Amino acid sequence: MRKVAIVGIGHGKFGVRSDASLRELAFEAVKACLDDSGVPLKEVESMVTGIAGDEFSIALQPSAQVHDYIGFDPKPNFRVEGACATGSMAVRTGWMNVASGLADLVLVVGVEKMTEVPTSMATDIMGRGGDATWEYPFGTTFPGYYAMIANAHMAEHGTTEGQLAMVAVKNHYYGSLNPYAHMQKKIDLEKAMSSFTVAHPLKLFDCSLITDGAAAILLASEEKAKAISKKPVWFAGLSLATDTMRITERESLTSIRASREAAKIAYKMAGVKPSDIDVATVHDCFTIAEIVAYEDLGFCEKGEGGKLIEAKETYVGGKIPVNVDGGLKSKGHPLGATGVSMAVEITKQLRGEAGERQVKNAEIGLTHNVGGTGQVVAIHIFRRE
């Protein structure tokens, strides 16, 4: 396999983007990505588009809207889908294109337009990201699934609602420093704790946001990367793992098995340990998900995730800074864009371009993206040279 680098990044403003359609959002990110790389679109050989929901975009092949609108035809565009992990699966697919030798320059676009449909319908669509036959009849929603994980984690490990809220406080703090974030505002513990319950014990501020947005990256082979970019960021390890459709059949309800499997593979491929990671973006669709991710990725021992945030070890300056771009929690979670946005953030960090949120001398970064309730998990480890 050939070496692959990220040589361009682009990020649109995340939020309730009632001013823009799916294809227009994608255009913003693609334009920014091409500007960043200095590569004209005509030199890009192939593209991969991550869009999770036809139901959100109210179209059967929304990816065709994207390649049409940016003017990519007649070159190949390949759409991938994996619920909330769609973006990272698109990144992985782009990497496969370059690593295999199929192309030297590949554009990866992640985009989702979620607010065109009413919130109750969005909740319904997301709920069917669980098992649409066997779980949906019990009124399950995404907050509901993660609430069940939270209750199990609290019973098994003594994790507290206060610790969950601390994750929200951290991610909102960093979101306030990220101009692309959906909700650029700080919150305090009291505000997080006093917000209304969405699914017991998860409150409003434990939940990520229903967001519109897009992100894009340009991938290049080694030779092209060295010619194009002064600061290429290299893929060092990649993994994808899966688990059962239904949470009722999981061996553990306090851990995401696919995360643990994927972590093992990615660390091995990159030849690094959890303690080597300088900065990480993890899948904080809910605050409990970030705490579980700390444990599954080996940033702390099993059951110690609540204590890790309590000790502020996941802030910049701590043992392992996590989601210092605001995370899904505050930056927002436009499904198809999220995984690509994670890669954009890690690239910024490894280039030393993250401004106030910069982790000093970051050399190795990790992205962790969970689809659904853990049916699929994609992890990428990046290095700068």
Does residue 310 sit in helix, strand or coil? helix
| Region near other proteins per CB under 8 A, out of 100-108, 196-204, 328-336, 356-364 | 196-204
Per DSSP, the residues of 108-173 read EEEEE--TTS-HHHHHHHHHTTS-TTTTGGGT--HHHHHHHHHHHHHHHH---HHHHHHHHHHHHH
Site size toward other proteins (CB under 8 A) is 37
- CA 290 – CA 287 distance, rounded (Å): 5
Cβ-based neighbours of 133, under 8 Å, separated by 6 or more: none
37 versus 140: smaller Cβ distance to other proteins: 140
100 versus 133: smaller Cβ distance to other proteins: 133
* Residue 46 token pair: 């192939």
Decide if residue 200 touches other proteins (CB under 8 A): yes
Rounded least distance, CB 337 to other proteins, Å: 23
* Residue 318 token pair: 């701590």
Nearest CA to 309 among 325, 322, 298? 322
| Region near other proteins per CB under 8 A, out of 10-18, 194-202, 344-352, 376-384 | 194-202
128 versus 384: smaller Cβ distance to other proteins: 128
Catalytic residue among 84, 207, 285, 300: 84
| Region near other proteins per CB under 8 A, out of 4-12, 119-127, 233-241, 303-311 | 119-127
Decide if residue 121 touches other proteins (CB under 8 A): yes
Catalytic residue among 11, 333, 368, 380: 333
In the range 237-266, which residues lie near other proteins by CB under 8 A? 246-249, 253
Q: Residue 46 is inside which H or E element, if any?
A: strand 46-50
Is residue 106 within 8 Å of residue 97, measured between CB atoms? yes
84 versus 90: smaller Cβ distance to other proteins: 84
Rounded least distance, CB 139 to other proteins, Å: 5
Q: Which residues pair with 108 in a beta bridge?
A: 48, 217
Decide if residue 198 touches other proteins (CB under 8 A): yes
Decide if residue 292 touches other proteins (CB under 8 A): no
Max intra-chain CA distance, the chain: 56
User: Among all chains, which residue has been given the structure tokens 């005509």?
Assistant: 42
Decide if residue 40 touches other proteins (CB under 8 A): no
Q: In what order do the strands lie in the sheet with 105-112?
A: 77-80, 46-50, 105-112, 213-221, 4-11, 233-242, 376-384, 364-371, 279-281
133 versus 160: smaller Cβ distance to other proteins: 133
Rounded least distance, CB 259 to other proteins, Å: 18
* C-alpha distances out from residue 360 to 7, 230, 347, Å: 21, 19, 14
Rounded least distance, CB 149 to other proteins, Å: 7
User: Among all chains, which residue has been given the structure tokens 């065109």?
Assistant: 116
**Binding other proteins by CB under 8 A: which of 45, 55, 116, 124?**
124
Rounded least distance, CB 117 to other proteins, Å: 9
Rounded least distance, CB 167 to other proteins, Å: 18
Amino acid at 108: V
Rounded least distance, CB 23 to other proteins, Å: 26
154 versus 220: smaller Cβ distance to other proteins: 154
- 380 a catalytic residue: no
- 283 a catalytic residue: no
Q: Which residues pair with 203 in a beta bridge?
A: 197
| Region near other proteins per CB under 8 A, out of 97-105, 129-137, 224-232, 375-383 | 129-137
Decide if residue 210 touches other proteins (CB under 8 A): no
* Residue 314 token pair: 């996941």
Nearest CA to 217 among 93, 370, 125, 372? 93
Indicate the DSSP class of residue 14. Answer: P
126 versus 219: smaller Cβ distance to other proteins: 126
In the range 133-172, which residues lie near other proteins by CB under 8 A? 133-141, 143-144, 147-149, 151-152, 155
Catalytic residues: 84, 333
Residues that bind other proteins (CB under 8 A): 118, 120-121, 123-124, 126-128, 132-141, 143-144, 147-149, 151-152, 155, 196-201, 246-249, 253
